[in-house]
Amino acid sequence: MGYAPQMQPPVPDFEPPLTPALVIDLDAVDHNVAAVLARAGGPGRWRPHVKTVKSQAVIARLLAAGVHCLKVATVPELELVLEAAESHGSSIDVLVAYPLRGSAVEAVEALARRHAGARIHLLADDPAHLTELRATGLPIFLDVDLGMGRTGTPPEDWRGVSTDGVSGLHGYDGHHTWTQRQAAHAGYDRLCALADALGVSGLDVITSGTHSYAHALDHEGLQTGPWRAQISPGTVVLSDTRTAPAAADLGLRQAAWVVSRAVSVRGDRVTLDAGSKALSPDARPSGVAPAHPDWAWRGPSEEHQPCRGEGVCAGSLVWLVPTHVCTTVNLYREAWFSRSGAIVTRQHIGAAGRALVV
C-alpha cells in the first residue's frame, strides 16, 4: 500500500445504522496533534488548515492542545471555527486563506462584529486587492506566489507596497512535494527577502502544507528571522494515504475511516457502497482497505466501488482509509466519533458542501 501509520480500525465491531459512514478516532487525533506540535516546536509554530476536519469536536481537540492559530478557506469554515472557539471559551486567531471578493468580504465583516474577541485576517491577492480590503479595518496577510501559480503575487512584485494594516505574509507552496527540498528552499529565500524588504519584524510568515512542512522547518532563514514562522498542514490531523511521507516522519495514526459494506460479491469481484459520493471523489484509487491490501481498485461510480479481490461475503463491512481525507470529510453531514475503542458520540460535520448564507 505504500502507507505506514497504524491502520487498525478504532472500533472493529461497530455496526453503523447506515453505510457508508465516517468514523473519526479522537485518540488518534490527539496523538497526531501532539506529534505535529513536537515536530513544529509548539503551538505558535503551527497554523493548521481546518478544511480537513470541518468538525467542532476535532477543532476542540486542537484548542485543548493550545493551538489557537488556524486557517480556513471558506466563510462557513470561518463561522465553524469562531463558534467552536466560543463554545470552548478560547481565544482564536484565524486567517481566511483565500482571496475573498464582494459579498464574501461583507460576510466576514459581519462575523467579525459578532465575534469581537476573535482576531480574523483577510488575504490580499495583489496590491489593488490589498487597497480594497483595507476598508474593512481587518488585519491582512499578503498572498505571496512562490511558484504555485494559483493565487497571489510574486514576492518581487509585492516590494514597495505599504504595510499599513498588514499582519503577515502567506507563501503557500503546495506545488512542492516531500522530495523537493532545494526548490522549496529557493522559494523561502525569496519570501524571507520580501519580509526583510517590507520590515515585517514581529509578524507571521506562513508557509507549507502537509507535503512540504519539513522543508520549511529546516530552512534557517525562516526559522531564525525576526518574525514568527508557521507551517500550516491540516491533513496530518486525520491522515490519509497521500500523507504517507508525513505520516512516517511524524508517526501518525490513522484517525479518519469510512465504514463501507460489500453490496455485491461475484467470483473475485467485490463491490462496495463507497463510491465517489462517499470516498475521495478527486483521487484514483479513492482509498485502501487495510485488511485487504491485495485488492485491485477499479474506477468508482457514484454509489459503487468495484474491486477485484476476495475474502469477504455479501453484506460484510469493510473499513477504508481515504486517499484524500479533505474531500472525503466534505461529503458527510455527520460522523461517528470514537475513543478508547468505543463509539462515544455522533456529531454534525460543519461547513461541508456549499452554503447559500451564513
Beta strands per DSSP E along the chain: 21-25, 69-72, 93-96, 119-124, 140-143, 166-171, 204-207, 228-231, 256-266, 269-272, 287-288, 296-297, 305-308, 317-322, 334-339, 342-348
| Domain ranges, ordered by start, for the chain | 26-238, 251-348
* C-alpha cell of residue 208: 507549507
- What CATH code would you report for 251-348? 2.40.37.20
Q: Is the previous residue joined to 5 through a cis bond, with omega within 30 degrees of 0?
A: no
The pLDDT value given to residue 352: 87
Mean pLDDT of the region 214-226: 97
Average pLDDT, the chain: 96
Percent of residues, the chain, with pLDDT higher than 90: 94
Superfamily the domain 26-238 falls into: Alanine racemase (3.20.20.10)
321-342 per-position pLDDT tens digit: 999 999 999 999 999 999 999 9
Please state the rounded mean pLDDT for residues 98-119: 97
Q: Is 113 exposed, middle or buried (0-12, 13-18, 19+ CB in 10 A)?
A: exposed
Identical fold between 26-238 and 251-348: no
Task: Examine the pLDDT at 151 and tell me if it is beyond 70.
Answer: yes
pLDDT at 200: 82
Q: Give residue 27's identity as a one-letter amino acid code.
A: D
Q: How many CA atoms lie within 13 A of 257 on its CB side?
A: 32
What is the reported pLDDT for 1?
A: 40
pLDDT band at 6, cuts 50/70/90? low
The pLDDT of 250-277, averaged and rounded, is 97
Task: Inform me whether the pLDDT recorded for 41 exceeds 90.
Answer: yes
Instruction: Examine the pLDDT at 53 and tell me if it is beyond 70.
Output: yes
pLDDT beyond 70 at 251: yes
CA–CA dist 166, 85 (Å, integer): 24
Tell me, what's the pLDDT at 7?
78
Mean pLDDT of 138-162: 97
Q: Which pLDDT score, from 0 to 100, does residue 201 have? A: 86
Residues of the chain with pLDDT > 70: what percent? 98
Cα separation, 76 vs 200, in Å, equals: 30
Q: Do 236 and 250 contact (CB within 8 A), yes or no?
A: yes
Cβ atoms of 180 and 215 within 8 Å: the answer is yes
